[in-house]
Amino acid sequence: MSDYLLLLLTGMGISFLGSLPLGNLNITAMQIAVSENARKALLFAAGAALVEIIYVRLSLKGIGWILSNQALFRYMEWAAVIIFAVLGVGSLWLAHRRAGEQKSMVLNQRLNRFLLGLGMSAVNPAQIPFWFAWSSYLFSTGLLQNDSRHFNVYIAGIALGTLTGLVLFIFGGRWLLKKINASQRLLNTLVGIVFLVSAAIQLYKLLYRRG
Q: What is the pLDDT of residues 37-59, one digit of tens each?
A: 889 999 999 999 998 898 888 77
**Res 14: pLDDT:** 92
**Res 186: pLDDT:** 66
Q: What percent of the chain has pLDDT over 70?
A: 75
Q: What average pLDDT score do residues 115-137 get? A: 79
Q: Measured between alpha carbons, how far is residue 153 from residues 135, 136, 137, 149, 178 in Å?
A: 13, 16, 17, 6, 37
The pLDDT tens digits of the residues spanning 74-118 come to 776 788 788 778 878 887 887 776 544 333 433 556 778 899 889
pTM of the predicted model, to two decimals? 0.70
Number of domains in the chain: 1
Task: Please state, rounded to an integer, the average pLDDT across all residues of the chain.
Answer: 78
**Res 170: pLDDT:** 87
**Res 185: pLDDT:** 67
**Res 142: pLDDT:** 85
In whole angstroms, give the CA distance from residue 105 to residue 36: 13
Distance of CA 210 to the CA centre of its chain: 30
Q: What domain range includes position 167?
A: 3-210
The residue with greater pLDDT, 206 or 97, is 206
**Res 102: pLDDT:** 38
**Res 45: pLDDT:** 93
**Res 209: pLDDT:** 64
- In this predicted structure, the answer to whether residue 200 has a pLDDT above a threshold of 90 is no
pLDDT band at 131 (very low <50, low <70, confident <90, very high): confident
Q: What average pLDDT score do residues 153-160 get? A: 94
Length of the chain: 211
Q: What average pLDDT score do residues 113-136 get? A: 80
**Res 109: pLDDT:** 60
The pLDDT tens digits of the residues spanning 10-42 come to 999 999 988 887 667 887 788 788 778 889 999
- In this predicted structure, the answer to whether residue 181 has a pLDDT above a threshold of 80 is no
User: 55-77 as b/e, with b when 16 or more CB fall inside 10 Å?
Assistant: bbeebbeebeebeeeeeebeebb
